[in-house]
Amino acid sequence: MLLISLMILLPVVGFALLLAMRSDLARNRLTAALFSGVPLALSAYMLIAFNYGNPGYQFTEHYTWISTSYFTISYAVGVDGIALPMVFLTSLVSFLVVIFSWDVKHRCNQYFGMLLLVEAGVMGVFTTTNYFIFYIFWEIVLVPMYFIILIWGSQRRVYSATKFFIYTHASSLVMLLSFFALYFEYHSLFPSRPFTFSITKISQVSPLFPALFQEIVFLGLFFGFIVKMPVFPFHTWLPDAHTDAPTGGSVMLASLLLKMGSYGIIRIAVPALPYGAKYFEYVILVLAVISILYGAWVSMAQRDMKRMIANSSISHMGLVLLAIAAAVFTLNPKTGYINTLGISVADFQMFAHGLITAVLFMSAGVVQHHAGTRDMKSLGGLARKMPTLATMMMAGFLASLGMPGMIGFAAEFSVFYVTFLSFGLLLIIPILTVVITAGYYLWSMQRTIFGADSGSVDFSGIHDSEWFEWIPMLVLILIIVAFGIAPWLMFNPINIAAAHYYSSMAGALR
Amino acid sequence: MIVAAGSLLLSLIMVLSREIVHSALYFAGVLIGISLLYFLMGAFYVGIIQILIYVGAVVVLILFGIMLTRRSILLG
Amino acid sequence: MDPLLQYSSLIALSPIIAFALISMVPSSRPRLTEWIAVIGVAVSAALSLLILAIEFFGNGSGISPVAYQQQIPFLRFSAGAAVTLGIYVDWLTVVMTAVVSSVSLLIVIYSVGYMHAEGARRKRYFGVISMFVGVMLGLIMANNLFELYIFWELVGLGSYLLIGFWYEKPSAAKAAKKAFVVTRFGDMFLLFGIVLLLSVADHTVMYQALFQPSSVTALKSSGFLTLATLAMFGGAMGKSAQFPLQDWLVDAMEGPTPVSAMIHGATMVNAGVYLVARMYPLYSQAPISALFVSFIGAFTAMFAATMALGTFDIKRVLAFSTISQLGYMFMALGAGAYVLSRQPIGAASYSLGYSAGIFHLMNQAIFKALLFLAAGSVMHSLGGTQDMREMGGLRSKLRITSVTMLFGSLSLAGIIPFSGFFSKDAALEAALGGTAYSPVFLLIWLFGIVGALLTAVYIFRLWFMTFAGKPRYPPEVHVHESPPVMVLPLIVLAVLTLVAGVAVLGVAGFAMAVHYPAVLSPHVSPYAQFNGALGLLGDPATYLSLFLAFAGVGISYSVWGRGRSGSKAVSGAITSRVYSVLVERYYFPQMYDKLGIWIGYGVARGLDFFDSKVVDGIVNGVGRFFIFSSENIRRSETGYVQQYAGAIVLGIVVIAVLLILLPMMGV
Amino acid sequence: MIPVLDVTIFSAALFSVGVFGVLYRRNAIMVLLSIELMLNAANINFVVFSGTAPTSAASADGQVYALISIAIAAAEIAVGLAILLVLWKTSDTVEVNEVATLRW
Amino acid sequence: MIQFFASGMSPLVVMIAGAVLAAALSFYVSNRVLGWLSVVTMLITFILLFMIIGGEIPNPQTFGNVMVEDDFAAVFQLIFLSVGLITVLPSVKYIEGDRNQGEYYSLLMLSVAGMMVISASTDLITLFVGIALTALASSSIVAFRKKDRIAVEAAMKFYIISALSAGLALYGISLLYGLTHTLQISALASSLQGISPSSPSFPTAMVALVLIIAGFGFEIAMVPFHMWAPDVYEGAPTPVSGLLSSGSKKAGLAAILKLFVVALIAFRTEWAPVFGALAILTMTVGNIAALQQKSVKRMLAYSSIGQAGYMLIALPVFAAAFGYHGIYGANLQVFSISSGIFQILTHAIASSGAFMVVAIMATNVSGPTVDEFRGLFRNNRLLSLSFTLYLLSLLGIPLLAGFDSKLLIFSSAVGGSIIQGYSWLIWLAIAGVLNSAVSLIYYVRVIKEMFSDTESPVTKYRMTGFAQLSLWIATVATVAIGLYPGPVISICNGAARALLALL
């Protein structure tokens, strides 16, 4: 089965083609749509063909890439229940972003090419089962994203792009070192077995790693991942990058790139170093809680709409980390037992946030595009001029603040549930976010789409969003609502897979 | 021993001397001292080559160089 | 089981389907949306009344506690823990759906006339209002707490959309936001309580499982029961606008008047009361929570009534009145629960508080909807003003409106034989009943009784200022009675205020709602009803409150009733400090604004500053540090080759030192 | 026979003088001369150690190394002087610290 | 004839012959022909080297205890030749208007020949001769534009420092000779085993060690022996800078590998921490100093210093692995050396490519500033894209050659840190990683300028076919090795094994 490889390769081919093409909007965007549309179709097929009863990896592929006596790297990909929502999210959001960017005229061939390359990288991160390939894709994502911010960004794009690049690159290098540590430790623990970068093989023996090793290496991995998520206090690249990126870039960044960090934690950091995670459980918890409240609270102070949404992402990704902390808390060092519910919930919240935040950034992009500013203080009364946009934006905001009937609520509730299971009454602190989030979203709606014109923006020539702007949003909202009404459709496979994926820990100790 | 001490002294004077041409001459002295040392150690061939090449060629070369790179010889 | 119950989910679904249909209608055809909305709500009303009638008159006495229940999956956390969606029909559900859907129907019909001028925007109005009714009914029919929370939030969403219907008015947008945020503050506690229950109560929040005596006992012994019930009451306080979260409901008057009627009469605010009633098996085992509920309710009842005295906005008076009446309901429910909690499990037999609370809810729904619709009719005829100082003397112009409103006022004031009398006195009696167990209830009862007096005063102040005396509105306003589509609901509701109390009490002894706590006491007859009108009338306290009600009306009449609305009494009072406190609503709005600005925005600004200066400052500082060191290292390249040579020699020395030191350091 | 230790001490001293000269003198030619001193010190070592070699082949090696080094030194000085001459022509100086355009 | 070409010495001989021929013919043939001559010479050598690596020409072949042509030598010679080729091709255009082009090509080839000697030598004096040959040829060629003050200044600095280093190194070598009476590296390795920290000759050995480190540290621009490098790289004709950065520095590394991995292995516990500290220092100073450079050439010079720091990581890791028994230790020995060589190789390609871009950009000596790269992408795609690829490769972005090698070298450090007593090796990896992050700042600065929208201040660059070819060679090598490093890694393994075979 070449399914996954195709999903990774097609965007790369598209990228190469687009770079080779001339800058011709009509043809470029069709090419981009094609090369991101086919992966979407493939992932839709995957949703159908996926065996939901099988908790393990499916559609696996395995090729040896580099092989020497001491260094073996294999290209290995596969999808299980944990990766499935992420894969779907990636192909969906990428395609919708291409559609949304239908009218980007400036250096359009490169723009679409970069978008496709980001898609390929993210897809690779979510599907690979090899540490090394994981890192490669992880890094590949940085370069096109950097260019997207740099070339098509707004005012402070140079600063933001550079900051993004340096910050995340530094963290990923630390992560890489930790991978190496795992690689060698595995071999020195089992000299009879060959060196391996296989995520699954290392996870299968992880509880046997010595305690100090786990603690140190976990710290490295954790740092690498939480910078990407991002988590307080390593989050400051995010508002800048999101704010200055073009809309398509912001969407990719928020919907997909942030998920790479949390995905890394649940796929790698915790299973590979369970006691390291256990050792730092309170660190994880505290960082998560701070991120949740801090991100939300800082959002409230923002005037720039995108900046507000970016900060809210910090808050929502904090919920992901909170769920992870809840799972780690249940880990029993003696038996290797872990209640993986937190892991599943984290994955689910990632999926939810990926869908929702795309709508948010798209709506901010439309506002920017049509009204010419994102400054909420100078906006106002947009709903009368742009009813479609206002509807979409409101739906997105409501989804983000956890309105039932939309996927955000199911995810948020699950997070609170697992938090209570692990931490009990401590839940009262993170749950405050429910109010703060509602506060800043509603306030920003009051300032932008409701009320009267502020008078500082000329609304005379303004018109409602274009078809290529609202259709992607509508599609996302429909999916948000669909999974909001029946979240079990996505949650059950995640849950089964997470339990299976982590079961090896107990097995190793037996 | 004396030769060695003498050479060392000469080398010091050479390094410290303010006039370059003098230095070059002291340098020649040092080299000759060293070649003497070679003779004393029984390495005659090396000693001869030392005199031939160093004292014969290198010092001349250096003097030549000094001459070419000075505005006025012997006037500092 | 009645076969009709299988279709009971339609009660909630039909307005939601109507909403979906309306959203597909092109906005150029608003008329169609009216029809769809009316039909959608009418279907629920018809169905729920039918079920009520069948259950009541048909095989009423044989009905089991859980008449009907079904579910579909939502989230499955593990083998033992899952949340589902489903419907749950018992007596409480039947009563509540009947009240909510029928009153809503009348309001929707009224809206057809009231909103006529809105043009194409009616599509949005009728769409949202259908949704609103639908989710409220869903809330009532939910079969577990989680599902209740879903609808609970959707009700909040509906109120947000409706209050902010005229979103281009900044005050409306602000009021909508306030309504949502303040109720969400309460909802947060509710969510917390639900999560708590879900986690400790065997991973289920299904009513059926939760209310098993065994599980309630287990909860109680786990120590979480009080916390969970208190947390849930937090949600109820938000939704039902109890002190200190009452203020949003007053601002919510920014919405169209039928919306106010809907929120106050039929739907939203009742949700909190419903929640406490639904969770009665839990509250009746948690004395602290019960006492708290009762106390907050009683205090709010009196507190809101005082504020109602201080406003000239006709709708705001009614809003305060709603808050106050909801307080009575909580007072009754809490008192009943407290008494039950003091009796041994299995032998508890005190249902007065519970019955009174639900009964009052029903009556309030009716007369409050009536009052609001009548007020809307007044505003409609006057061209939109809400200030009572610009009314007066309308009795002759608006005959039907004034009479129906009088009915509503009498009911609210608790004048026999209007429905409000029975339920309010029952509530006060329930509070008095609590004194046997705790002296606090004496205070609670006192609050209630003072509130009753004030209620009569402020509602007749409203009535007199509006309809009596001389006209104060500008003469050019052409006053006319509202169209039939608006008047008809008024008449229906007015009749209901007159008959509901007598009918229910007389015919059924209000047996149906009493059923519920019987879950806790299987040995007691499920029909341990309170003794109906006779019981009430046999109690001296009743006469006290009745006297106070009449006294209140009298005071009103003496001050405002003789056409002296702009008189000295008022102007004198207005200057007094006490009065200004009332006008400013005890400075609650300012306090909330301050709170919002200081805690919300102020801290946010502080954190933002911290974020950009400190956290990001460190990040940038690291960068600057590198640039700084780069500059220094760069400057070490002086261009002097001898310095380079020196560096080499220095390097040699350093390496030598390293070679000596490193073994010493044990590397 | 001259004691080996003494000679090595002498060569070390000579080497140090050379290093000192490199650092101390500003004139490029003097720097060159000092470097030559260092090379010579190494040569002395080669020669003196060749005397203590266990085999005659190893002993011969030492002297051969010395010769090679003399050759290299000669070549070096030639190239060095050539560069200095060019420097003189372009910059009008052979003071090493007067040519410091390239920096930072 | 066939016998000659079957000899392991043939590449060296061909190179020297080419150099002599170029100098001799310079009066008779046109400059263009001279360019072709050097290219052809290098190509022939290339083919010969491939035959050696492929085993067509028997290897290893030893030459009288002073040289050996084995896989190690061949791989390094291949690197030098690639660099030479990449350097020579744009040179044709670069020195178009200069006189004495014959000498230029001749010196260039001689310099490469010197490097080849270094990589093949098994005797310290041969090594020294090779270094002297390289240094002398390079310093002359730095002063190739003898009217150019800056170039001459650079030559002077280069010359003085190289001569000083030669003095230091030679003195150290002479001390070693005194201790063992041999300069044959394998013999040294065994006879130095007897010197333990308690033996009386140990201090002498340490002095020799320090002097040798200093003397050879100059060649690879190891901090604190690096200070000449930026000035010289900036002042030299740009192709020569490329040669220095990518060629002679690598030759220095080859020398260091031979010296420390083979000859001085007995003192590994002494030099391992020293090299560890120097590696960290080198990469940190190089990368941080590069941050604030305006001249791209100077920036590349510092970057190349920083990169040398990464390469040095191989040494302490090898030291750790050498004492470690079992399959793990044996593997790690080869791994560390091999990844060091691999890093040398990838850096040589990317760095020479980058210098050639700079050479193409400007024919003036001090080179373009970062600002002058603004908008380059609009003017010249090949130039800007290939430059981006080189920089990203230097930075270590996946699927480019530099990434693979950086990865191997860092991973070898992590692998070594597991060994008892060498846990500090992890700091090398961490420092390397942090430095990578820091280096991103200045690499990205140039990339950012190239892709900015503003109009380029400089007109379009017209490139000769040769120059384009040079860029293509470097680009293809960077990408191909990045995508499929397997074969190259196994060649490096062969080289590492050949080096270890000398022990």
Q: Which tens digits make up the pLDDT trace of A20-50? A: 888 888 888 899 999 999 999 999 999 999 9
Chains B and C touch (3+ CB pairs under 8 A): no
Q: Test C639 with D96 for CB contact under 8 angstroms.
A: no
Residues 610-649 of C with CB under 8 A from D: 634-635, 637-642, 645-646, 649
- The rounded distance, in Å, linking the Cα atoms of C255 and C271 is 19
Cβ atoms of A258 and A124 within 8 Å: the answer is no
Contact residues, chain B, for D88 at CB < 8 Å: 68-69
Q: Test C641 with D19 for CB contact under 8 angstroms.
A: no
Q: How many domains does chain B have?
A: 1
Beta bridge partners of A130: A198
Q: Pinpoint the alpha helices (H) of A21-101.
A: 25-49, 83-100
Cβ atoms of E439 and E303 within 8 Å: the answer is yes
Q: Test E230 with C637 for CB contact under 8 angstroms.
A: yes
Does the pLDDT of residue C528 top 80, yes or no?
Answer: no
Tell the CATH topology of D4-91: Helix Hairpins (1.10.287)
pLDDT attached to residue C2:
64
Chains B and A touch (3+ CB pairs under 8 A): no
Contact residues, chain D, for C639 at CB < 8 Å: 100-104
pLDDT attached to residue C68:
66
Does the pLDDT of residue C336 top 80, yes or no?
Answer: yes
Q: Test E159 with D80 for CB contact under 8 angstroms.
A: yes
Of E49-53, E131-135, E165-169, the range with the lowest mean pLDDT is: E49-53
Contact residues, chain E, for D103 at CB < 8 Å: 231
pLDDT digits (tens, 9 = 90+) for A109-121: 888 999 999 999 9
- The rounded distance, in Å, linking the Cα atoms of A250 and E263 is 57
Nearest chain D residue to C652, by CA:
D19
Q: Test D54 with E181 for CB contact under 8 angstroms.
A: yes
Contact residues, chain B, for D10 at CB < 8 Å: 4-5, 7-8, 37
pLDDT digits (tens, 9 = 90+) for C187-202: 899 999 888 888 876 6
- The rounded distance, in Å, linking the Cα atoms of C662 and C410 is 97
Contact residues, chain E, for A104 at CB < 8 Å: none
- The rounded distance, in Å, linking the Cα atoms of A156 and A307 is 13
* Integer CA distances (angstroms), C445 to A219, C337, C362, C441, in order: 61, 15, 21, 6
Does the pLDDT of residue C561 top 90, yes or no?
Answer: no
Q: Pinpoint the alpha helices (H) of A332-430.
A: 341-371, 382-385, 387-400, 407-423
- Please state whether beta strands C68-76 and A72-79 pair in parallel, antiparallel, or not at all (unpaired): unpaired
Nearest chain D residue to C645, by CA:
D23
pLDDT digits (tens, 9 = 90+) for C103-112: 888 888 888 8
* Integer CA distances (angstroms), C117 to A208, C37, C113, C122, C172, in order: 75, 17, 9, 9, 18
Domain spans, chain D: 4-91
AA identity, residue C179: A
Residue located via tokens 């050379």 = D18
Largest distance between two CA atoms of chain E: 69
Low-confidence ranges of chain D (pLDDT < 70): 1-2
Cβ within 8 Å of residue C404, ≥6 positions away: C370, C374, C490, C491, C493, C494
- The rounded distance, in Å, linking the Cα atoms of A412 and A403 is 10
Over pLDDT 90: what percentage of chain A? 37
Q: How far is D15 from chain C (nearest CA, A)?
A: 12
- The rounded distance, in Å, linking the Cα atoms of E197 and E193 is 11
pLDDT attached to residue C504:
67
**Can you tell me the mean pLDDT for A148-153?**
88
Cβ atoms of C423 and C413 within 8 Å: the answer is no
Which domain CATH number covers B59? Answer: 1.20.120.1200
Does the pLDDT of residue B52 top 60, yes or no?
Answer: yes
Residues 194-233 of E with CB under 8 A from D: 230-232
Residues 83-102 of E with CB under 8 A from D: none
End-to-end Cα spacing for chain A: 34
For D23, which of C634, C639, C646 is closest by C-beta distance? C646
- The rounded distance, in Å, linking the Cα atoms of A479 and A355 is 8
The model carries a pTM of 0.88
Contact residues, chain C, for E289 at CB < 8 Å: 630, 633-634, 637
For C647, which of E210, E224, E277 is closest by C-beta distance? E224
pLDDT digits (tens, 9 = 90+) for A238-289: 988 988 899 999 999 999 999 999 999 999 999 889 889 999 999 999 999 9
Nearest chain E residue to D7, by CA:
E178
Q: Which domain, by its residues, includes E316?
A: 2-500
CA angle C156/C159/C162 to nearest 5° reads 150
Does the pLDDT of residue A349 top 80, yes or no?
Answer: yes
pLDDT attached to residue C518:
46
Over pLDDT 70: what percentage of chain A? 99
Q: Which domain, by its residues, includes B36?
A: 2-75
CA angle E209/E211/E216 to nearest 5° reads 95
Query: Looking at the complex, does the CB of residue C187 fall below 8 Å from at least one CB of chain A?
Result: yes
Q: How many CA atoms lie within 13 Å of B29's alpha carbon, on the beta-carbon side?
A: 19
Contact residues, chain D, for B20 at CB < 8 Å: 27, 29-30
Cβ-defined contacts of C587-595 (< 8 Å, 24+):
C588/C244, C588/C246, C588/C247, C589/C247, C589/C251, C592/C178, C592/C182, C592/C247
Cβ atoms of C47 and C9 within 8 Å: the answer is no
Q: Would you place residue E411 in the very low, low, confident or very high pLDDT band (cuts 50, 70, 90)?
A: confident
Does the pLDDT of residue C479 top 80, yes or no?
Answer: no
- Output the average pLDDT for chain C: 80
Q: Which residue has the higher pLDDT, A190 or E160?
A: E160
- The rounded distance, in Å, linking the Cα atoms of A149 and A382 is 27
pLDDT attached to residue C434:
82
Nearest chain D residue to E293, by CA:
D104
Task: Output the CA torsion E490→E267→E419→E76 (10° steps).
Answer: -10
Query: Looking at the complex, does the CB of residue B45 fall below 8 Å from at least one CB of chain D?
Result: yes
Contact residues, chain D, for E156 at CB < 8 Å: 28, 83-84, 87, 96, 99
* Helix (H) / strand (E) containing A64: strand A58-67
Q: Would you place residue C62 in the very low, low, confident or very high pLDDT band (cuts 50, 70, 90)?
A: very low
Q: Test D97 with C640 for CB contact under 8 angstroms.
A: yes
Query: Looking at the complex, does the CB of residue C170 fall below 8 Å from at least one CB of chain D?
Result: no
- The rounded distance, in Å, linking the Cα atoms of A153 and A164 is 13
Q: Pinpoint the alpha helices (H) of A153-198.
A: 157-189
Q: Would you place residue C282 in the very low, low, confident or very high pLDDT band (cuts 50, 70, 90)?
A: confident
Q: How far is C579 from chain A (nearest CA, A)?
A: 32
Radius of gyration from C-alpha coordinates of chain E:
21
Q: How many domains does chain E have?
A: 1
Chains in touch with C (3+ beta-carbon pairs under 8 Å) read A, D, E
Beta bridge partners of C73: C84
Contact residues, chain C, for E293 at CB < 8 Å: 634
Q: Test A410 with C74 for CB contact under 8 angstroms.
A: yes
Q: Which residue has the higher pLDDT, C532 or C536?
A: C536
Nearest chain A residue to C195, by CA:
A417
Cβ within 8 Å of residue A239, ≥6 positions away: A307, A310, A311, A314
pLDDT digits (tens, 9 = 90+) for E208-239: 999 999 999 888 888 888 889 998 988 888 88
Q: Would you place residue C575 in the very low, low, confident or very high pLDDT band (cuts 50, 70, 90)?
A: low
Nearest chain D residue to C642, by CA:
D23
Query: Looking at the complex, does the CB of residue D33 fall below 8 Å from at least one CB of chain E?
Result: no
Of C157-161, C525-529, E17-21, the range with the lowest mean pLDDT is: C525-529
For C195, which of A417, A439, A491 is closest by C-beta distance? A417
pLDDT attached to residue A186:
86
**Can you tell me the mean pLDDT for C341-353?**
68
Phi, psi torsion values for C74, nearest 5 degrees: -130, -65
Tokens of C280: 């009665």
Does the pLDDT of residue E455 top 80, yes or no?
Answer: no
Contact residues, chain A, for C160 at CB < 8 Å: 442
Contact residues, chain D, for B53 at CB < 8 Å: 70-71, 74
Residue located via tokens 């070598």 = E173
User: How far from chain centre, in Å, is Cα C126?
Assistant: 21
Q: Which residue has the higher pLDDT, C29 or C132?
A: C132
Chains in touch with D (3+ beta-carbon pairs under 8 Å) read B, C, E
Does the pLDDT of residue A475 top 90, yes or no?
Answer: yes
- The rounded distance, in Å, linking the Cα atoms of C381 and C481 is 6
* Integer CA distances (angstroms), A51 to A80, A184, A393, E239, in order: 9, 35, 36, 60
Of A257-271, C1-15, E58-72, E132-146, the range with the lowest mean pLDDT is: C1-15
**Can you tell me the mean pLDDT for C587-593?**
75
Cβ within 8 Å of residue A481, ≥6 positions away: A405, A406, A407
Q: Test C154 with A404 for CB contact under 8 angstroms.
A: yes
Nearest chain D residue to C630, by CA:
D104
pLDDT attached to residue C516:
46
Of A355-369, C128-142, C374-388, E131-145, the range with the lowest mean pLDDT is: C374-388
Residue located via tokens 């009398």 = C421
Interface test with C, best of A159, A168, A226, A236 (most C CBs within 10 A): A236
Over pLDDT 90: what percentage of chain D? 6
